[in-house]
Amino acid sequence: MKPIVQIDNSFIESNTIFRELIEVLRNGFANNKTLIPTRHHHDFPNPEMKTDSTVLLMPAWSPGETAGVKIITVSPKNSQFDLPSIQGTYIYLDATNGSVKAIIEAKSLTAKRTAAASALASSYLSRKDSSSLLMIGTGALSKNLIQAHASVRDLKKVYVWGRSFKKAQAICEQLKNEDFTITPIQNIEEKISEVDIISSATLSKTPLILGKHLKKGQHVDLVGAYKKDMREADDETILKSSVYVDSFEGGLKENGDILIPLQTGIIKESDIKADLFGLTSEQKQGRSNVDEITVFKSVGHALEDLVAADYYYEKYIDSQ
């Protein structure tokens, strides 16, 4: 039996090329050969923090090829421990005999594949001439989302907002040598009406993106708000936009940004234009004109994890 490979965050951070990862995700969604059971989403009490934590179990199989399951915990108040909100492990399996091939640290894997999925969606939904981005949120995803979006659009200006201005400054400092200028801002309204792409990755329960501020031709990338009572965008944003999701199964059920407007009758399920399966297979159309406002809601999909695990495992084996 071969030894179990250990792939840590440092390897993932050092060996990610977003253009490559985006393309393997594109192929994975377009081919749609992966079997994806409904993921387990369980909230559990965390009395000391006075808010629930969440455990997610996300299995996936590509029959005869690869398989895996991700175990993730989300603890929204982990910043006080100087820990990321999202922690976990990916167990990468041999699809034939069920043996464990690798244990992959899931924090970076999740951040990279999530950012790549947003950039994949942007390649269909944002204007091709998009050159500016507002990043809302300063967590582990923020840097990755900026870099991923910059890999599919020629960004010239990036702005970063967070509840902590110091954290926004820190993100900008980390990315100061990129090919775009990057600037921290004090409030969202400073730039939200000017930029071409808005990407948001927060745990907010109240909308941060207000439709009244949006202009024609913008693309809105909603990555946070993973619970049914969380929202990053208000009803007006959803109403005035063409809405897309990463998958219909999760995108319509697990997040407040889509679920609340559905429940209140603001939109119907038929108003959701497409998911990544439809876009990548070219069965569905993305942006139709330069004035259209598009919204992409990401909740994460186990296909993304398995494709990313394949990507990093192959890179690791090739490096030995």
- The DSSP-derived string for 20-60 is HHHHHHHHHHHH---B-PPPEEEEE--TTTTS-EEEEEEEE
| Mean pLDDT within 48-52 | 77
50 has pLDDT over 80:
no
Distance CA 129, CA 134 (A): 16
Average model confidence (pLDDT) for the chain?
92
Q: Does residue 218 carry a pLDDT above 70?
A: yes
| Position with higher pLDDT, 139 vs 184 | 184
Q: Write the pLDDT tens digit of every residue in 252-285.
A: 666 788 888 888 999 998 999 999 999 999 999 9
pLDDT of 120 strictly over 70: yes
Which pLDDT value is given to residue 48?
79
Is residue 237 pLDDT above 80, yes or no?
A: yes
pLDDT of residue 46: 78
Query: Mind giving me the DSSP string for the chain?
Result: -PPPEEE-HHHHHHS--HHHHHHHHHHHHHH---B-PPPEEEEE--TTTTS-EEEEEEEEEETTTEEEEEEEEE-TTGGGGT--SEEEEEEEEETTT--EEEEEEHHHHHHHHHHHHHHHHHHHHS-TT--EEEEE--SHHHHHHHHHHHHHS---EEEEE-SSHHHHHHHHHHTTTSSSEEEE-S-GGGTTTT-SEEEE----SS-SB-GGG--TT-EEEE----STT--SB-HHHHHTSEEEES-HHHHTTS-HHHHHHHHTTSS-GGGEEEEHHHHHTTSS----STT--EEEE----HHHHHHHHHHHHHHHHHH-
Q: Does the structure show a pLDDT above 80 at 63?
A: yes
Residue 1 pLDDT class (50, 70, 90 cuts): low
Q: Is there a contact between 148 and 135 (Cβ–Cβ < 8 Å)?
A: no
Considering Cα of 278, then 28, then 200, then 89, what sign does the dihedral take? positive
Domains assigned to the chain: 5-109+303-319 (3.30.1780.10), 122-300 (3.40.50.720)
Q: pLDDT confidence of 44, banded at 50, 70, 90? A: confident
Question: Best-predicted range by mean pLDDT among 80-89, 173-182, 249-258?
Answer: 173-182
Q: Once rounded to an integer, what is the mean pLDDT over residues 130-136?
A: 98
Of residues 43 and 201, more confidence is placed in: 201
State the Cα–Cα distance between residues 132 and 290, nearest whole angstrom.
15
Q: How confident is the model at residue 245 (pLDDT cuts 50, 70, 90)?
A: very high
For the cut 70, the answer to whether the pLDDT of residue 251 exceeds it is no
Q: What are the structure tokens assigned to 207, written together?
A: 């909308």
By percentage, how much of the chain surpasses pLDDT 90?
73
Q: Which residues contact 211 (CB under 8 A, 6 or more apart)?
A: 233, 234, 235, 236, 237, 238, 239, 240, 241
pLDDT over 70 percentage in the chain: 98
Q: What is the pLDDT of residues 300-317, one digit of tens each?
A: 899 999 999 999 999 999
The owner of tokens 């934590």 is 53
Report, as an integer, the average pLDDT of 162-176: 96
Residue 232 CA, chain-centre distance (Å), reads 13
Which pLDDT belongs to residue 148?
98
Across 91-100, 224-233, 280-289, least confident range: 224-233
